[in-house]
Structure 1
Amino acid sequence: MKYTVMMPAAGSGQRMGAGYNKLFLKLDDKPILAHTLDVFEGDLACEGIILAVKPDERQAIQSMLEQYAITKVTAMVDGGGERQNSVAACIRAYKGSGIVLVHDAARPFIRRAVINELVQVAAEHGAAIAGVRAKDTMKFASAGVVEDTVDRDKLWIIQTPQAFRYTLLQEASNKAEDEGFLGTDESMLVERLGHPVRIVESTYDNVKMTTQEDLVFGEILLNRR
């Protein structure tokens, strides 16, 4: 089943401490963003990629697309101050009516089998998100004092991609914008509509390149693959 992926790529990378957009940092001599785009470039089910970028990085990203033969980017829109704003810009730029995925540009290790399952579940149920089960003991604490030990069997660590029927995601995004609500992910916006969101089990190596330690782990994953 075909899909389009929306990818916010206008972050600052402050936690990485690079002093510039972390997506330009390299893993095995190739930018993180190029690694992530490659996953979708090679997926026959992917019809297109919409990138939200910083205006002053547009030319550098265009050069990257040409250098690494990325041909599926159908649009580059100006990113907003928050991730949600960037995704909203991608939603407005989309011209279809099918299944859309929202994916972190700094997650280059998502597996295509997970993507395909997300698309199938979203087509059937409207909304599906990638996640892995919590492995550690989880505590609920306030002011540094434990109040409760949480049943981890019911806890999931949520990743991207997150897949939706376009009309559902559009409705959720518009409602959040109209009400001035800022969520932590697109699933949260859809949940506000009262629509159920299914979880598709992903892999623990679908990590987001956020800190210097993540880059070390990323190099290990590349060498393993």
Structure 2
Amino acid sequence: MYGGNSKIRKKSSFILACAGMGKRMQLDYPKQFLEYQGKALFLRPLICAEKSEYVDEIIIVSQKEHVEYITKLCQEAGIHKLKCVAVGGKERQDSIYAALEKVGEEMEYIIVQDAVRPFCKERYLRETYEVLQEGYAGAVVGVAVKDTIKQISEEGLVQKTPDRNTLFAAHTPQAFPKGILQEAYVQAYKDKFFGTDDASLVERLGYSVKIIRGDYDNIKLTTPEDLKMLNR
């Protein structure tokens, strides 16, 4: 643990990763703009953040051509905590870094959320905040892996079967002290390292990141098959 003070209320910035193009979804528009129950998917986690006492500002990162559209939908949905819509980069990591540069100076915690993981819950925001207050360098919502996982070679040969009891699938939100996440991003770029989530950047520096047990319905919509989950 890096240290912390649980008695002092820390302000948090909520970053929504909304710059994906959704190529695997086989749509002619980004999947985060799909409508579900009358609202674009990306609005659902924003509404959760808007209502949460653990979020003080919201920053959305998107492709340049969608900034105006996203801003309009946020205004219509009453997302008053929105600070700005930043322009993302080529990779997710580039986009989050662009958003980090927009975070307010008074913010001490950063929460990162996928726009296409629409079922964010208030509990996740509260529990990740509490973990940071305990002094951990990161908090990641995740679920225990149900299937047996095989580690394979390039030829498809099984190399190892990890103990399933030690494996968790990482979701979002993921939360970190601002300084630590900024340090992790700067070092990742120096090392030309690209991780698949924000926690991996922090972990590689030796910091302690704690898992928050999430829910299996906190799905990320990536492929056409995932859309079937919305109608269950």
Question: Which TM class, normalised by the smaller chain length?
Answer: over 0.9
Deviation at 1:41, TM superposition (A): 1.3
> Does the alignment pair 1:62 with 2:35?
no
Query: 3-state DSSP class of the match of 1:114?
Result: helix
The AA in structure 2 aligned to 1:110 is C
- The answer for the alignment partner of 1:84 in structure 2 is 93
Q: 1:155 aligns with which of 167, 174, 181?
A: 167
- The answer for the alignment partner of 1:22 in structure 2 is 31
Deviation at 1:150, TM superposition (A): 2.0
Deviation at 1:29, TM superposition (A): 2.5
Q: Which moved more, 1:70-79 or 1:141-150?
A: 141-150
> Does the alignment pair 1:129 with 2:168?
no
- CA distance in 2 between counterparts of 1:118 and 1:131 reads 11
- CA distance in 2 between counterparts of 1:46 and 1:196 reads 23
* TM-score, normalization by structure 1: 0.93
The AA in structure 1 aligned to 2:109 is I
- The answer for the alignment partner of 1:175 in structure 2 is 187
Matches within 5 A, 1:132-211: 132-142=143-153, 143-211=155-223
Query: 3-state DSSP class of the match of 2:110?
Result: strand
- The answer for the alignment partner of 2:229 in structure 1 is 217
The AA in structure 1 aligned to 2:174 is Q
The AA in structure 1 aligned to 2:61 is A
Query: 3-state DSSP class of the match of 2:15?
Result: strand
- CA distance in 1 between counterparts of 2:44 and 2:226 reads 15
The AA in structure 1 aligned to 2:99 is C
- The answer for the alignment partner of 2:19 in structure 1 is 10
Query: 3-state DSSP class of the match of 1:51?
Result: strand
Residues 175-196 of structure 1: CA distance to partner in whole angstroms, max 9, x if unpaired?
A: 1122322111111111121111
Deviation at 1:39, TM superposition (A): 1.3
Query: 3-state DSSP class of the match of 1:46?
Result: coil
> Does the alignment pair 1:71 with 2:80?
yes
Q: Which moved more, 1:83-92 or 1:33-42?
A: 33-42
Deviation at 1:46, TM superposition (A): 1.2
Unaligned runs of at least 5 residues, structure 1:
221-225
The AA in structure 2 aligned to 1:152 is R
- The answer for the alignment partner of 1:223 in structure 2 is none
1:133 and 1:155 in contact (8 A); partners too: yes
Deviation at 1:22, TM superposition (A): 0.8
* TM-score, normalization by structure 2: 0.90
Q: Which runs of 4+ in 1 moved over 6 A?
A: none
Query: 3-state DSSP class of the match of 1:216?
Result: helix
Two-structure CA RMSD over aligned residues (Å): 1.4
1:7 and 1:103 in contact (8 A); partners too: yes
- CA distance in 2 between counterparts of 1:15 and 1:160 reads 20
- CA distance in 1 between counterparts of 2:159 and 2:110 reads 40
1:51 and 1:75 in contact (8 A); partners too: yes
Unaligned runs of at least 5 residues, structure 2:
1-8
- CA distance in 2 between counterparts of 1:178 and 1:139 reads 32
Query: 3-state DSSP class of the match of 1:100?
Result: strand
> Does the alignment pair 1:101 with 2:101?
no
Q: How many matched pairs?
A: 220
- CA distance in 1 between counterparts of 2:30 and 2:42 reads 10
Q: 1:46 aligns with which of 42, 55, 58?
A: 55
Deviation at 1:219, TM superposition (A): 3.1
- CA distance in 2 between counterparts of 1:196 and 1:114 reads 18
- CA distance in 2 between counterparts of 1:136 and 1:69 reads 41
Deviation at 1:207, TM superposition (A): 0.4
